[in-house]
Amino acid sequence: MMASLCRRRPSPATRVATGLVSLMVSLILISDLFIGFLPDRRLEAGQRHAAAAAIVANRISDALRLGQGEGLQGALAAAVRRQSLLQSAAVVTTAGDVLAQVGDAAQGWHLQPGDASTLLNVRAPIIANGRPWGELQLIFNPTLPDSLLGWLHDPLLQGLALLAVLGWLSFQLYLRRVLRYLDPSAAVPERVRTAFDTLTEGVLVLDAECRVLLANKAFRQSHPRAANTLTGASIDSFDWLLAGLPTGSDALLPWQRAIASNSATLGVRLHLEAPGQAPRHLVMNCSPISDGASAHARGCLTTFSDVTELEERTQHLRRTLAQLSASQAEIELKNEELTRLATRDALTGCLNRRSFMAETDLRFAEAQAHRTPACVIMCDIDHFKQVNDKYGHAGGDRVIQAAVKALTRGLRVGDLLGRYGGEEFCIMLPNATLAQTLEIAERLRADVEANVGDAIREPANVKVTMSFGVAELQPTTPDPAHLIDLADQALYLSKKGGRNRVTSEQALALPA
């Protein structure tokens, strides 16, 4: 996630402290150019090297004067040991012969004949008997750093760095305290602060750097840690406030977004929690503060509305509505159960006679009104009394249930099946002609004959058949009862004709 807007730039105290440290170091270096109070290490090193060269040269001259030419090597070695600044030394005659040498003089010697001495390579003439005899070539150890690591270990540079660091830390601590109490507090007059304290909503006035210029009384009372809100502190440091913000993918906080876009950020919900206190719900609005002359916001006015009581009432209302909804669903289930018990036959599950007649009345009225066909089938189980006598009422009930299942799976969607009597059933078929109904009835009869007996496990091997009577709605049919009566008469003819058959009402008009 991107860093927050107010943390992208260093704080004013950091910027001022860095500037003061830079100015302090610059003044020290500029003052040294004019006054020279810092030691010139090159000059001091040159003076020490000249003194060391003079001492060694005197010792070599004394050795030559005393006729100790063969002891030059020892004298030179002794002189080099006493001078810690020396790296190597050599005694060379005017002819270029090396008479004595200590250390690797060839590696560190960079002067050509006739070149003047340097800081590290020093040549001192040797006079014998008033005439030039040779020279002393001295190679000194480096006195100034010659690498980055060497400069990092240089005492002068380390001293300046330590001074800069300590100065920066001191300026930071001092400026933070000074800026906290001076600039922000002067930005808002006292009469404005008093006016904001009278508001019931929490109010924060922020500058462009998201520092608090004003926090009214209502805000300081919104959370135990809000009471310690100090003028000049960054709102981004209020971790208790940040913890209450809703989680999301936006890289900017609401007040940062308002300042960056110079547009209001409204309706941000906060959930604040504190130990020992009930959670509080707030709604935060952030509006940019602009002087109108610039497209950039100069600050932000942030308000906090306490909606804890409203939220609690809303939650209570939601719980009540959920309970009412659950109760309503339970009542609907009970009503459905009561409706089923009131309209369905307890043994078979099909419509009872009263419900069947009520539904049939509606289908009858619709068919007459729209002049659509409709038919009724009356059917009952053949020799059912013998089944009851042989297998008892329990066996008879199982036969009835198996017969209803066969009838149900052979009907169309929208057809009505009702238990009209003990083993007698009535079927209402809307939008069905007589020919279609006879075909359906025949299919039902064949299904019962072929499958119902085998579907009954107890009693086993029982033979079940049904007889059917069919009647068709006519324009002159006065009511459903008359239509059912015609179907019942046709059923009677099926039984009279040998049972297990389908008979149409048209057979009633045939001569006996």
Q: What is the CATH number of the domain that holds 95?
A: 3.30.450
- Indicate if 116 and 33 belong to the same structural domain: no
Q: Given the DSSP bridges, would you call strands 212-215 and 202-207 parallel, antiparallel or unpaired?
A: antiparallel
Which of these three, 257, 279, 306, is where a domain ends?
306
Whether 332 is in a domain gets the answer no
User: What local confidence, expressed as pLDDT, does residue 114 receive?
Assistant: 73
Q: Is 418 helix (H, G, I), strand (E, B) or coil?
A: strand
> How far is C-alpha 166 from the geometric centre of its chain's CA atoms?
42
Which 8-state DSSP code applies to residue 422? S
Specify which residues 88 forms β-bridges with: 139
- Indicate if 155 and 9 belong to the same structural domain: yes
Whether 79 is in a domain gets the answer yes
Written as tens digits, the pLDDT of the chain (512 aa) is 444 444 455 666 777 778 787 887 777 777 767 776 666 666 677 777 777 777 777 777 777 766 655 567 777 777 777 777 777 787 877 777 777 777 776 677 777 777 777 777 788 787 766 677 778 777 777 766 666 665 566 666 777 788 888 878 887 787 766 665 555 555 566 777 788 788 888 898 888 888 888 888 888 888 888 887 677 788 888 888 888 888 765 678 889 888 888 888 898 988 888 888 888 888 999 999 887 666 788 889 999 998 888 888 888 899 999 899 888 888 888 888 887 778 888 899 999 999 999 999 999 999 999 999 999 999 999 999 988 888 888 888 999 999 999 999 999 999 999 999 889 999 999 999 999 999 999 999 999 999 888 878 777 778 899 999 999 999 999 999 999 999 999 999 999 999 999 999 988 876 65
The CB-side HSE value for 349 (13 A sphere, CA atoms) comes to: 8
Whether 338 is in a domain gets the answer no
- Indicate if 78 and 53 belong to the same structural domain: yes
- Where are the strands (E) in 177-293, listed by range? 202-207, 212-215, 265-272, 280-289
- Indicate if 400 and 466 belong to the same structural domain: yes
User: What local confidence, expressed as pLDDT, does residue 7 receive?
Assistant: 47
> How far is C-alpha 96 from the geometric centre of its chain's CA atoms?
85
- Indicate if 390 and 441 belong to the same structural domain: yes
- Indicate if 164 and 77 belong to the same structural domain: no
Whether 317 is in a domain gets the answer no
Whether 355 is in a domain gets the answer yes
Per the CB < 8 A criterion, the answer to whether 126 and 64 are in contact is: yes
Which 8-state DSSP code applies to residue 507? G
Six-digit token pair at 495?
Answer: 């039984």
Whether 337 is in a domain gets the answer no
Dihedral (C-alpha) 452, 456, 459, 464: value to the nearest 10 degrees? 0
- Indicate if 268 and 397 belong to the same structural domain: no
First to last CA, the chain: 98
Whether 216 is in a domain gets the answer yes
Q: Under 8 Å CB-to-CB from 412, ≥6 apart: which residues?
A: 429, 432, 440
Which of these three, 122, 155, 181, is where a domain ends?
181
pLDDT per residue over 324-380, tens digit each? Answer: 988 888 888 888 888 777 888 889 999 999 999 999 999 999 999 999 999 999 999
Whether 18 is in a domain gets the answer yes
The CB-side HSE value for 310 (13 A sphere, CA atoms) comes to: 7
Per the CB < 8 A criterion, the answer to whether 79 and 124 are in contact is: no
Per the CB < 8 A criterion, the answer to whether 438 and 377 are in contact is: no
- Indicate if 412 and 359 belong to the same structural domain: yes
Which of these three, 87, 112, 140, is where a domain ends?
140
Q: What is the CATH number of the domain that holds 433?
A: 3.30.70.270
Query: Considering its fold, how many domains does the chain have in total?
Result: 4
- Indicate if 287 and 176 belong to the same structural domain: no
- Indicate if 246 and 117 belong to the same structural domain: no
Q: What is the CATH number of the domain that holds 217?
A: 3.30.450.20
The domain in which residue 430 lies consists of: 344-509
- Indicate if 371 and 414 belong to the same structural domain: yes
Tell me the CA distances in angstroms from 379 to 178, 408, 442, one per residue in order: 105, 13, 11
- Indicate if 223 and 175 belong to the same structural domain: no
Q: Under 8 Å CB-to-CB from 441, ≥6 apart: which residues?
A: 377, 379, 468, 470, 502
Q: Which secondary-structure segment (H or E) carries 120?
A: none
